[in-house]
Structure formats: C-alpha cells, structure tokens
Amino acid sequence: MTRRDAEILLRKTFGLPNFYDEQWLTIEKILNGERILLIEKTGFGKSLCFQFPATVFSGTTVIFSPLIALMRDQVRKLQSLGIATKCINSEQTQEENTQIINDAKCGKIKILYIAPERQENNEWIEATRQINLSMVVIDEAHCISVWGHDFRPAFKRIINLVNLLPKGLPVLATTATATKRVEKDIARQIGDGISIIRGNLMRNNFKLFVIKVDSDDEKMIWLGKNIEKMPGSGILYAGTRIDTEIYSKWFEFLKISSTAYNAGLNADSRIAIENGLMKNQWKCIISTNALGMGIDKADIRFIIHTQIPQSPIHYYQEIGRAGRDGEIAYIILFYNPNDDRRLPEAFIESARPSIKKYEKVIETVKSGLFGERELMKQTNLKQNQIRVIKSDLIEQGIIRETIYDKAKKYEFIPDSQPLNTKSFEELRAVKTKELDKMLEYVETKDSRMKFLCDYLGDNSNDMFTNCDNTGEKKIRVIVTPEWIEKLHDFRENYFPELIVESNDSNIVNGIAASYYGVSNVGNAIHKSKYENGGDFPDFLLWLTLKAFRKKFGQETFDLILYVPPTISGNLVKNFAEKASKILKIPISHKLQKQKTTKEQKTFENAYLKKDNVSNAFYYTEPNEISNKKIILIDDIFDSGATIKEIGKLLTETGAAKIAPTVIARTVGGDFI
C-alpha cells in the first residue's frame, strides 16, 4: 500500500487529511509485518499508528492496555467512526465479556482492547484458539520495564507472548514516557530486530512553575487563594491518600468544588469521577498518582503537585495529560525543602522489604500451595510487602503464579537460582539518583522543559521560554493573617472519617478526633497507654466529643458501649464513662471478650487482624440490645477489624445502629 492509497483510506475511514511522516513510517513497518517501539509524546497520534493498519488487516488486532478508562474512551471514539471495536475488562459483566469474546471468534471485531491480566483468564485463552489475529499492540509499553516509573508484572506475560508469536506478525509497542534506559530495556525484551521510532517529547504549550514553601500550611493557603483563578479544570496530585482527603476537605471548607480520587475507591466511584472530570463537574480532582494515565481529556488546564514525585520521569508522565489540545496548560510543583524529600525517600526505602521476609515467603511457598491470603496469614506480612516480594520472586524465576480452581496460587520453581539481592540494591541506587534529579529540577536555574527533555533522552535544540526560569513570573506564597485564621478554623473542625459501612451490618461510618501521629493526639494516647500516664487527658475527650457532635450531633442514641481492653486496663472504659456522663447517654459494661486476643498491632495484615478478633466478643444480656442505637467507643482505629467484628455481633443481636467513635485513626498502610 502506498502512502497515497493509505491517505485516501484515512480520509474515508477516519476523516483525517494525512499522516505525519513519523506516523506513516510506523504504519509502513507494521504493514510490512515488523516489530516497532514507538516513543511519542501524548497528543502525537500514536493510536492512529495501530488503529489505521488494524482497519486494513483482515483479522483482529489485539491491544493490551493497562488502563480501563482509556480503553473505554478509545472504544467510544472508534465505534463512532464505524470501526468494530470492543474492550474486555474486569469492570464489565461476565456476560458482556463472553459476548465480546464470541464476536471476536466469529471475526466480527476489528480492534479488541484487553488488559494484560486477561492472559490469566481461561475463556480468553480458549477464544485465542479461534481468533484470526492480525497484530498485537502493547500500549503504555514502559510498564514492561522495572526501570520505568510504572512497572507492572502482568506485562511480563505479554512479553513472553510476544516472544512466542510467529515471525511476520506485526507487533507495536508504544509509550509517551521512556528514558534511553527504559527504551533499551523494552527493545531488548521484545527483541528480534525491533525498530525504534522516537519523536520529540517537548511540550511547548506547558507553563512550568516551581513554588518553594516552608510548610504545608503555605501550600494550602496558596491553593485556597488561587485555585479558583486558574483557567478551566485540572488535577491536584497529593502524596498520600490521607493528603487527598485533607485537601478535599479544605476545599470543601472553602466551597471550592473538588473531589478526591485514589486507588482505594471502588470501580463505580472511579468511573463516576472520571466521567465527572470529562464534563468539568469540578474545578479540580485531588488525587494520588493512581489517576493519570487513564484520563484522556484534551483540555486539562492545570496540573499541580503538592509533593515532589519520585523522579522526573514520574513527573513528566503525570503532567503529560495536561493540555493535550495544544492550548496553554499550567504545571505547578510545590516544594518544601524542610520536609518534602521524606515521602519519596520513604517510598524508595520501603520499596523492598527485608531479605528475611523474602526468605520467609520462599520457605512458605516451598511448604505448600498457597494463595496470597494464606501466604499473608502464614508469614504475617503486610499486603503491599507480600505483593512486592511475590513480584520480585516471580521476576527472578524463584516462584510462579498459577491458577488452581480459578484461584491464584504460588509455586516454588525447582532448581531455581537463589534470591539475588544485588538487583534490589542496584534498583534502589538508581531510584535514589532519580530522586536527586527531581530535586535538581526544583533547583535548576535553566529551562525546566529542557531539563525534562534532556532527562528523557531528547536531543532537542528548541528554544524554551515556557517556565519561571525563562520568562514566566516566579510564584511566591504570601501568607496573610486572614488565611492563617481560615486554616486554623478548618483544622479545628476537621475530623477523619472511619469507613466501616457494609451491606450486612448496621454499623455506620464513624469519626475520629484526629489522625494518630499527625498531631499531639497520638503522643497523648501513647503516654497513657504505654508509659503509665494514667487516664487519657481531658483534651482528648473534648476533641472526641467535638468530632462526635459534628458527625452525629443531629441524631439520638440509646446506649454507649466500649471495646473491652486487650492490655490497656480501664483506659477506654473510664474514657467512655466520662463521655456517657457528658452526653447523658447510659453506658453498658456488658460487651465482653470471650477469648483472649492479642494486640492488633502485632499483626501486619488485615486477614490476621480479622482472625484475631473473630468471635472474640459477646454481650451478656443480648435482649438489652434489640433496636438500640449505640455509640461504640475505642481509643485507636487501625484496620477497623475490631469495630467491624463488634458491629457484626451487635447487628446479629438486633442493634438498629452502631456509630463508632474513636480518639485517633492510624495513618496505617494507606500510602497510595
């Protein structure tokens, strides 16, 4: 097919006038059955490079994409052009997916988007026996590389698949974010004479700013003052889930329309937020880096980071979604030199659990066939730790993940090499260097865009005049007493929620006076509990009651119960008695333990915590509970296992409502 012929087809099918040279170069190679790695910036038109040939081929093109939101978006667009496109993903029903698979088998689908995890699905593997496959595309191919910013183990399988595909079947890997090192790594893994096409990654419609501050307060004040003045809508990236909650409450306090997004939300909420973003429902979305790649909105006008990301490549990726329409987009990074290195450093440090923990997992895997849950129970490791360990052990060929009875289990691989810890150290050294580079970005006196392009391996000689070092005005934070007052008011009235509601329990989401470790609340609790400091001080009682009144002040309650102690004697009992006197709600001491439990904090994961308290409680006079509205008091809320267990018991005994109220909620493992 000549370029002319192709462009005639392009106009007919896609309504576009012609290809860019780099697009045509790629397409020509695809039509020729070659393997290509295409690195082009967001908005370049990478998708067309596989969508066009897909319409020319007789069979089906399969696109592996990790991003359900992006899949949905592309499917919508292609369908509107009359191209038979579908996606298979975990957020559709089984029936929908089955129907799509059947259509693919009958040759009714030209372009099929699927998540890499789908390789685990039997129905899909069965279907692949009959699909007439024309091309394989790996979208977001940087996920293949551990040197990238978003390594995903499921992509390993796609690489294995690609290596098993016959010669002559075109394979295209695309990404918008790859350093030279990542580029080389992807090319090596896909192998077999792959050609690399790398475009210019410069985004000249960005206006880049760095705002240096001395405290989180300054960040909050600047945002409070200025976010409404920003054009259009945008994204505010915060470092942790807790931060997303705090910023969103702050904006709520200031009546700025915003919503919080993080990986902890369920699929429905995420879809609702993604849709709302598309429709500019809020001024901004406050998110951890869980949101980003998946958003295909052309007119994101600003992206603000309240925390420095781990590396310039993370940063480039996260800001990459702004201004896809080519219009001006504001890119702002806050940096507090006193404090802000801590979080990314902690990420890097905690990225690898101790070697002992690895060994523990290997031994456990050798002793039997277990799934993740059983592994966590046997090893008493946190979920995120076990996931890192598993992924490393799989990567090193020491264990493998297989499916038994539709459940994942982990097998030891006989004759495998011993654990190689050198690669962890190497990776840690590289990550630390990358963080240093990120700080260099903050401190640079030269063009920020050029800094990012150089880092990514672009050899551009463009003139860059789009940052606060090259012509744009520097931004400084001005703190006024009025704003200090506002922030103070907010802090006094902000209480963390306890998310415990479920369909099969009458427990409702509760409230805590504070986060443990964020204020002096944690210290005060610690003193009473572990340093013989006597009863919890009264200020904790006042703060807790204030939180309670804010959350439940409009409601009436019949009874106060408290969680019976494990080791702290009568601290909680005394605390609850005082609360009972002030609230004038009777207290009962009949909630008791029927088995010895250990302190929840000795268990690293939710499964063991749940087991620890399972059936641990009983109520001596169950009849008293019937139809009662109950306040349930405890000192610290961690995984919520204890509160939920008691909620279950009281629901079974007939309680109408259980409202948990605690002094502090731990920050726990809620990092992202």
Partner 1 sequence: MNKESAYWMVLAHELPTWSFSNKDGWKNEDKMNLIIQFYHDKKMSIEDFFGLPEDCWKNDFLINEKQITDLRNAKSSIANYAFLSENLQHNGIEVIPVTSSEYSKTLKENLKKSAPVIAYIKGSRQIMSNKSIAIVGSRNASDIALTFTDNIAKQASKEQKVVVSGFAKGVDKQALDSAIAYKGQSIIVLPQGIMTFESGFKSYYKQIIEGDVLVLSIFHPKAGWGKDLAMARNHIIYGLSKEIYVAESKPSKNRQGQETKGGTWAGVIDGLKKGRTIYVRQPNVTEKNDNPVLIQKGALPVDIEGNIIGRSETIAETLTEIPNTQNNDKSFSDKVKEILLHGQLSANDILKRLKLDWKSDKLTRELKKLDFIETRKEKNKIYFALKNAKQSSLFD
Binding stretches for partner 1 (CB under 8 A)? 119, 125-126, 128-133, 157, 160-161, 163-169, 366, 368-369, 400-405, 411-415
Closer CB to partner 1, 366 or 595, in the complex:
366
Q: Is 644 left (phi over 0), alpha (psi -120 to 50) or beta?
A: alpha
Report in angstroms how near the CB of residue 58 gets to partner 1 at its nearest. 11
- C-beta closer to partner 1: residue 161 or 479: 161
* DSSP letters for 513-541: EEETTTSHHHHHHHHHHHS---SPPHHHH
Query: In the complex with partner 1, which residue's Cβ is closer, 130 or 465?
Result: 130
Task: Give the nearer residue to partner 1 in terms of CB position, either 165 or 202.
Answer: 165
- Maximum C-alpha span of the chain: 86
- Note the helical H segments in 534-570: 538-552
The least distance separating partner 1 from the CB of residue 402, rounded to whole angstroms, comes to: 5
- Residue 128 CB, nearest approach to partner 1 (Å): 4
Strand ordering across the sheet containing 497-498: 497-498, 510-515, 657-665, 629-637, 559-562
**Shortest distance (Å) from residue 411 CB to partner 1:** 6
Computed from CA positions of residues 590, 591, 595, 598, in that sequence, does the dihedral angle turn out positive or negative?
negative
Alpha carbon dihedral 94, 95, 96, 99, in 10-degree steps, equals 120
How many other CB atoms are found less than 10 A from the CB of residue 413?
14
Our CB check for partner 1 shows the closer of 106 and 567 to be 106
Q: Which is nearer to partner 1, 114 or 208 (CB)?
A: 114
Shortest approach of partner 1 to residue 37 CB, angstroms? 19
Are 119 and 402 contacting, i.e. CB atoms less than 8 angstroms apart? Answer: no
* Residue 232 backbone class (left: φ over 0; alpha: ψ -120 to 50; beta: rest): left
Q: How far apart, in Å, are the Cα atoms of 205 and each of 208, 300, 328? A: 10, 12, 5
CB of 145 to partner 1, least distance (A): 19
Nearer to partner 1, 122 or 594 (CB): 122
| Distance of closest approach, residue 400 Cβ to partner 1, in angstroms | 5
Kindly report the backbone phi and psi dihedral angles of residue 475, in degrees, each rounded to the nearest multiple of 5, phi listed first.
Answer: -105, 130
Q: Which amino acid is at 241?
A: R
3-state SS assignment for residue 560: strand
DSSP per residue over 581-615, as a string?
A: HHHT--B---EEESS----GGG--SHHHHHHHHTT
Q: Quote the least distance from Cβ 52 to partner 1, whole Å.
A: 20
CB nearer to partner 1: give 397 or 586: 397
Q: Is the dihedral of CA 302, 307, 312, 313 positive or negative?
A: negative
User: Least distance from C-beta 185 to partner 1, angstroms?
Assistant: 19
Structural contact between residues 150 and 167, judged by C-beta atoms closer than 8 angstroms: no
Dig out the tokens for 322 from the structure. Answer: 């702004």
Q: Which C-beta is closer to partner 1: that of 1 or that of 125?
A: 125
CB of 46 to partner 1, least distance (A): 23
* Residue length of the chain: 672
Amino acid at position 90, single letter: S
Are the CB atoms for 168 and 10 separated by under 8 Å?
A: no
Measured CA to CA, the distance from residue 26 to residue 49 in angstroms comes to 6
**For partner 1, the closer CB: 105 or 546:** 105
Q: Which is nearer to partner 1, 297 or 360 (CB)?
A: 360
| Shortest Cβ 124–partner 1 spacing (Å) | 8
